Every structure is written in C-alpha cells, then in structure tokens.
C-alpha cells in the first residue's frame, strides 16, 4: 500500500495568528478516495504523534482498514502553536489549554477533513483527556460525527488519590496553584507506564523499541530532553476527579464505544462504566482489553485494541 503522510497547518478560527498541526495519512495522494475519515484526539501530556509511533501506528492501521486517518496537535502541544509561556519558567504564568480550547481545535480539524474528503461526517477516537475534549465536541451536536470512540476515558468519578496530588496543602478542597506547564522526561514516562504493568518484566507487555521510538518522535518537536505539556488539563481533571463532568454524556446520541485496558489505573473501570451508563446513544458498546494499561495503544495488545475499535466502526459490534 502506498501510504502518503502529509503535515497540514491550519489557521485557528479561535486565534487567527495561531496554527494547528494536523497529520494526515492516506492510501495515495487523494484523501477523498477512501470514502471514510477518522480523527484521533490526544490526551493530557503527549501530542498527536502518539497515534503514529513506528511499530505501533494506529494511523497506519486505520489506513489499512480503508480510512484517511488524521491526528491533531491541540494548540500548546507538538507542532501546533506553542505560546511564549512554554519558554518561560512555569511558575511565571497560569495554566492554559483547557478543554474548550481543544474543542475549538477539533472543530477546525473536522472542518478541514470534511473539506479535503468531501464527507459530511467522520469518525472520532479520543484517548484519555481526549475523551473529554472529543466528548465535549460531540455533545454539542455538530452533526459531523458518524461514530465516536472514547478510549481510556476520564469522565466523572471520585478519585481521592488523584485529588490529593492536586489539592492545595492549606485547603484540600481547592486546587493548588499551578504553573503554565509541566515537563516529563523519558525516564519519568517509563516509570509512569511501568507502574501500571502487572507483569514481572515490563517488556512482556511493551516492546522497548516502541518506548524509545515514541519518546524520540515527541522530542523532535521539543527544545530539550523533556516533553512540555500545558497545565490546563489538570484543571479539567480536578473537576472530573471531584465528580463534576466537563460534558453531558447524555447529549451524545451517535453510536459510541467506550473501551479501556483492564489494568488502566488512570481510566478506572467504575468511571468508564459510569460514562457508558450515562451516554444518550441508542447504540453503545463497552469493551476491555486484557493485560493492557492506559498506554494500550503502544503495547503488545494494541492489535486487539485496534481490531475491537475497527469492528465497532464497521458496525460489527
């Protein structure tokens, strides 16, 4: 298959002096030829390249399934416009890039994809915080989403452990002061990932080559040896962990799949099932991938995840 990768730069409708990076992969030069399109929406810390890691590319899998496939970088992430606050000490500026900002970027990307493909509706896959932003977009009823996948969702569930990590020391009921952004090195990312892997040897669940390829791909858009991520998402997560959802799942009426890794310690089962129960969709499905974590899309069980999502998108679930 002749897969063509194109990097698109879109003008933000919310801020015309800012740009949104959209990665496109298609079987050939004409993205409209497939007759199907899918947009992947990233999570809190890692940009859209998460979906196109060599050796574990969900974009490539989607193209093989007959899609023109897309992954965006929300402004503040990856190759999209990075504000000056990211180059200053984090403490000098407040958090930025809340869910509403991401929704504006999703809307711009959906409009661009529809124009490039000639399609009225596309499929959307959101991961982690991306389920909040994609869910917020879909709940607004734009009429542009055919099927929705909420993978590793964080929606609305009391998480005392996560609240404690974000709370103000002097007033635990309040979010602590946050700087504009946070950073994560490869060692920190690996430690976070390893904490969810139940196997004695993490390599049983994860190919070490994929770990390296993933982080190196992200560092290509960074000035140093760490990934910088806006802290607006932490404000959104604070709300979710305090049982205040960022969107109304009951307003989502298109076919929707909720899917998670069984051993995901971030997107827990109780939250995912609570989201599933609240969905307004007449056609909704719930699935779990065994021996998989929050990073299932990069793990050895990724093919099962991709196939499960593919069957749902094809109307087989």
- Strand-pairing partners, residue 286, are 258
Q: What 8-state DSSP symbol labels residue 250?
A: G
Q: How far apart are CA 140 and CA 92, in angstroms?
A: 34
Tens digit of each residue's pLDDT (9 = 90 or more) over 113-145: 999 999 999 999 999 999 999 999 999 999 999
Among candidate residues 1, 3, 35, 5, the one with its CA nearest the CA of residue 314? 35
pLDDT score, position 1: 65
Q: Are 73 and 82 in contact (CB under 8 A)?
A: no
Q: Are 163 and 235 in contact (CB under 8 A)?
A: no
Q: How far apart are CA 99 and CA 95, in angstroms?
A: 12
Contacts of 280 (CB under 8 A, 6+ apart): 249, 250, 251, 252, 253
Multiple choice CATH, 3-313, 3.50.50.60, 3.30.70.1150, 2.60.120.260, 3.40.50.1820: 3.40.50.1820
C-alpha distances out from residue 295 to 184, 197, 261, Å? 16, 10, 8
Q: In terms of C-beta distances under 8 Å and separation of at least 24 residues, what long-range contacts does 272-276 make, across chains too? A: 272/153, 272/155, 274/155, 274/156, 274/157, 275/150, 275/153, 275/155, 275/156, 275/249
Q: Residue 141: which H helix or E strand, with range?
A: none
Tokens for 129, please give them: 């915080």
Tens digit of each residue's pLDDT (9 = 90 or more) over 192-231: 999 999 999 999 999 999 999 999 999 999 999 999 999 9
Q: How far apart are CA 40 and CA 74, in angstroms?
A: 11
Q: Is the pLDDT of residue 21 over 70?
A: yes
CA angle 154, 69, 117 (to 5 degrees): 120
Tens digit of each residue's pLDDT (9 = 90 or more) over 48-91: 999 999 999 999 999 999 999 999 999 999 999 999 999 999 99
**What are the sequence ranges of the domains in the chain?**
3-313
Backbone angles phi, psi at 133, to 5 degrees: -70, -45
pLDDT score, position 105: 98
């Amino acid at each position: 298959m002749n897969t063509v990768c194109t990097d698109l730069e879109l003008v933000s409708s919310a801020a015309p002096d800012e740009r949104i990076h959209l990665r496109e992969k298609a079987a050939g030069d004409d993205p409209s030829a497939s007759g199907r399109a899918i947009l992947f929406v990233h999570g809190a810390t890692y940009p859209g390249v998460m979906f196109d890691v060599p050796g574990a590319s969900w974009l490539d899998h989607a193209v093989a399934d007959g899609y023109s496939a897309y992954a965006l970088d929300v402004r503040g992430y990856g190759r999209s416009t990075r504000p000056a606050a990211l180059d200053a000490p984090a403490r000098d500026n407040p958090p930025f890039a809340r869910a509403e900002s991401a929704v504006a970027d999703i809307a711009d990307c959906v409009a661009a994809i529809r124009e490039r493909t000639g399609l009225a509706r596309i499929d959307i896959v959101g991961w982690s915080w991306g389920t909040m932003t994609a869910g917020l977009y879909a709940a607004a009823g734009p009429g542009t989403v055919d099927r929705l996948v909420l993978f590793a969702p964080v929606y609305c569930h009391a998480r005392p452990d996560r609240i404690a990590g974000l709370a103000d020391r002097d007033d635990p009921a309040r979010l602590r002061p946050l700087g504009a952004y946070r950073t994560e090195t490869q060692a920190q990312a690996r430690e976070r990932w390893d904490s969810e892997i139940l196997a004695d040897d993490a390599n049983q669940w994860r190919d070490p080559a994929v770990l390296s390829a993933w982080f190196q791909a992200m560092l290509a858009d960074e000035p140093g040896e760490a990934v910088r991520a806006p802290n607006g998402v932490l404000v959104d997560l604070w709300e979710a962990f305090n049982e205040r959802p960022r969107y109304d799942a009951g307003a989502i009426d298109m076919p929707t799949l909720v899917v998670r890794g069984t051993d995901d310690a971030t997107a827990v089962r109780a939250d995912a099932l609570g989201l599933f129960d609240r969905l307004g969709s007449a056609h909704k499905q719930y699935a779990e991938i065994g021996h998989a974590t929050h990073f299932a899309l990069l793990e050895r069980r990724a093919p099962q995840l991709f196939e499960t999502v593919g069957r749902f998108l094809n109307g087989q679930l």
